[in-house]
A and B are shown apart, each in its own frame.
Chain A
Amino acid sequence: MNESQALPLQSNLPNLDVSGLKSIYRQMVLIRRVEELAAKAYTQRKILGFCHLYIGQESVAVGAAAATSDDYWITAYREHGQAMAKGVSARAMMAELFGKRTGSSKGQGGSMHIYDKESKFMGGYGIVGAHVPLATGIAWAAKQRKEGRVCVCFFGDGAANQGAFFEALCLAQLYKLPVVFICENNFYAMGTPLHRQSAVTDMSLRALGVGMAREQFEGFDAEVVRDRVGAAAEFARSGQGPVLLEIITYRHRGHSMSDPAKYRPDGELDEKKKSDPLAITKERLTQDFNVSEEEIQAIHDSVEVEAQDAWDFAESSEIPDPANLYDFTYAPDGS
């Protein structure tokens, strides 16, 4: 019988210095601010359709990006934060949400389908769990071409009930593919709490059936996420096979903009906000790295400028040209 292999106890990533940690903090603040502006734009009907916010989970994407910046990423529909952490600019993101031709997908994708080939961000997907097999293919290509890259695949606790998820785990382990599967367990599959959607609530145990290495940890501290995702990526990169990480997190908003999240028990959100990723990293900066309140404020000020600039850019950009309607159905010959 195959036992799950153990991950390295620590990643080989160098320790974060103050500038590295400040950069992580700034990225988390930027994601939150852009998401808050997205919420505002949604209420003004500048952003339409479905819109799923990442507020509360920023440490997962930003911590993971600090460990896998040159690797492939693929994810689901709550992907604004991940897209920005991986390299999509606030401008391109916001313009896509506004449905403009300057958006990351030229207004073809929208909130759930942000892509950026340049930063190896292979997209957000709207069929829950269905993108997980795609991650195995990306890793297949990386392995065949000896790129030394892994594919980091994010999904939620809800997706871990889908057949596509299980099939992907089986294939990845069978072929020893370099995939880091990250189950972001935010405890709700839309409005259904974890214990009502899965008999086993430690989602990392899903790895045992296929003999895959696994780990479960709390992901509110971006430094911890960086270290553990780094360890998993090293494991996968070394050819030992894929890893399933379950990262405990929490979303502060509803499933989407139209969900007031009334299904949460009283007090749960307030309790979880005590482990707000931004507060944790801020405290680390101020207490362990002697970063002053003025420096923290300067980060927030520069984020405010960048986020407002993204809004202005999105608002002033042109809508897609109807003449290009048919240009995105088939790739031209030779491509």
Chain B
Amino acid sequence: MPTPILNTKLYVPPPRPEVVFRPRLVELLNENLQRRLTLVSAPAGFGKTTLLGEWAAGCGRPVAWLSLDEEDSDPTRFLVYLVAALQTVAANIGEGVSGALQSPQPPPAESLLTALLNEVSSVEEDFVLVLDDYHVIDAGAVDDALTFLIEHLPPNMHLVVATREDPRLPLARLRARGQLAELRAADLRFTPSEAAEFLGGVMGLSLSEKDISALEARTEGWIAGLQLAALSMRSRADTAGFIESFTGSHRFVLDYLVEEVLQHQPERVQSFLMQTSILDRLSGPLCDALTGQEGGSRTLQALERSNLFVVPLDDRRRWYRYHHLFADVLQARMMEKRPDQAPALHRRASEWYEQEGLPEEAIRHALAAGDFGRAAALVERAVPAMRQSRQEITLLGWLRALPDELFHTRPVLSVGYAGALLLGGEIEGAHARLRDAERWLDTAANPARPEPPSAEMVVVDEEEFRRLPASIAVYRAASALARGDVPDTVKYALRALDLMAEDDHLGRGAAAGLLGLAYWASGDLESARRTYAGGMAHLQAAGNVSDAIGCAIALAVIRIAQGRLREAMRTYERGLQLAKEQGDPTMRGTADMHVGMSELYRERNDLDAATQHLLRSKEQGERAGLPQNPYRSRVATARIREAQGDLDGALELLHEAERLYVSDYHPNVRPISALKARMWIRQGRLGEALDWTRERGLSPNDDLSYLREFEHITLARVLITRYESGLTERSIHEALGLLDRLLEAAEEGERTGSVIEVLVLQALAHQARGDISMALAPLERALKLAEPEGYVRTFIDEGAPMARLLSEAAARGIAPDYTGKLLAAFEAEARRNGGELPLPASPASQPPIESLSRRELEVLRLLGTELSGPEIANELVVALSTVRTHTKSIYRKLGVKSRRAAVRRAAELGLI
């Protein structure tokens, strides 16, 4: 279930008849539209929402509106609603972002926002986004997201934030850059003439100038105060007496006036107002459920007509809310007069919302009622949907609000809690919850258990209960994996698969993923491969294509280690195919497929194709990439640069990749630091390579494990190079000894990819000692294994010594076709590198660039023509300033400073 969008949150409050038109403020808002942000910051009751509603109706631009509430402090929920609000302006905006938010591993907020901003910048019209009630947000993550949004705001969007307190945004910086406009209490308060117009013109009261200024002084221009005062006076004859006693009183304006207004309401209305004051949103049927009476809709409409502080939340007059201040006073009155009523009212609201199928509100009211049993039941049923829609923070908030002892008798809820805790890394807490749940399962399985729990077990979601033993096993496997306990991961994941129904595809996919990881980490590649392949099929069957694509990465990487390059390529291709069949060719993970394919093409020495796929990956956009894609794509680019002879550039990219590294639980079998050490070796920087072996604590006598295989092979390379630089004779013996053991381990683990590299190194080690015939034996084996899979770079990356060995092999008739091909590749490379000219910078060797928006691409194409700036603006029917903004953004993204450079770079990248 995706987050249900409450449309009432997106409703732009229409101008109301009984308000003062405020041209000076409307003008101020209009004048500042070219800045990025307008901050409307003033206490409650200063007419912020009313003013913005009035302005929105006449500002001549489409306005997207989002009324925030406390739950929006959950960043996922905030983004979901942000997108929904933007969609009221441009219907198809952000669909990809919403999709990514629902995916099991959402990308970081910044990349989602970047994708969203790109789409925003392609909206044809200039528009406004209003975030109302921002003060309810209490989350640094949301503040950060908003800051990022403002810093990168496209020129066609203006943001308005209305709040009771200054938000945690870089206001000083925005102010200094002239990007911020502010409306504060001093601007918003009624001026004496506005007060006069309101009281006389709008409310139809005939008051003397003296009376008006007395009221203005007493309320200090506070609009809510003046409005209440006017309402009080309308319903009484003696306005003079009212003004005298009101201005003579020290009582808090709100207390005084609400009392006044309420006293003139019939008892029935007073009681309606108090009972319904506990609601955030009011509808007729909901109010009826609370009051036990009928006619709630009529009462609400009557309240709206008499301006009694209800605000409509839609055009159809179905939903209303009280003005926040009024609701506060009503609630305080109720707590004073009928304190015992509140829980019952909340319970009725909870029941009503439950019947309406709105579990979130039902849970909130159940918690407010202190009816934890009810809340627990509702939460238990809501867990699967909340998890699927990635609202774990909200879910955890509910779970933490429930008393601990409640979980002891509720195994399903307890396991749901464990799942939410595990995601937050709270392993200890999760275990306690799993143990609680298991007690009940043990009892169910073995009724004769000596100490049955004293209380009754409570299960709401029977289906989840039947699945519980399997769910518990999955969570135990996940926590074992997080601890790095491979045997336990395997044990629990196998148990889970054993317990799961054959058609529980999602469950089976998850368990298979964990099991595959465990096998992989322990070096049992064939089991890992089979498990992943099965898991991928289940995820596909469950319709979870994005995760199935994630599986494809693991599968392909394992295939490469097994030396099955062609299979690996097919796996990537199938991943892309799946996305295409799903109708979403830029689905998350597809960018990673292209990066993987690039690496395979590089190995085949088809550097053009490798470069093409890196470009494709970039063009797919950030949304199409998993969180690991930024570092993986840099590693792939580094390897291409290496092949082109640009070792410094390659190292630079590896440094970057190291900084961007994020784990995805896949065993880190090819650490970036080892890749850097290999680059140092090629550069002859032996000292740094040796330092690396010491830092990593590597020694030729180490026990070998698959997880450190890549590092140990790198160590063997360091040792050979050390011998070649004449430093020590011992090194070559150590290298050969280590390589022997590595070969044996790789053969045993059927890691043909590693076997080939180790054989190549053995050959090189023997050759370094001048023993050509000893060198040719392992080389022949390597060639035999590598030929069917089309390996090239594994050989030619080794440079001149390998070229000499291959010629020797060719002379002796070893694998003549293959050695011929490899030697030709050597020659081609030597020709390219041998000339005086430096290598031409190929497009892919540049660092990845931020993708350009559709609009920017249009501008870019016109930059390639003879048209002048104003002519381009004409052509695109936009303002010249808009063209300039796009141009600046294009320059930044392409890393250039002039039009000519931008066009040249764009041509290199194939953008025009």
Same complex origin of A and B? no
Chain B interface residues (CB < 8 Å from chain A): none
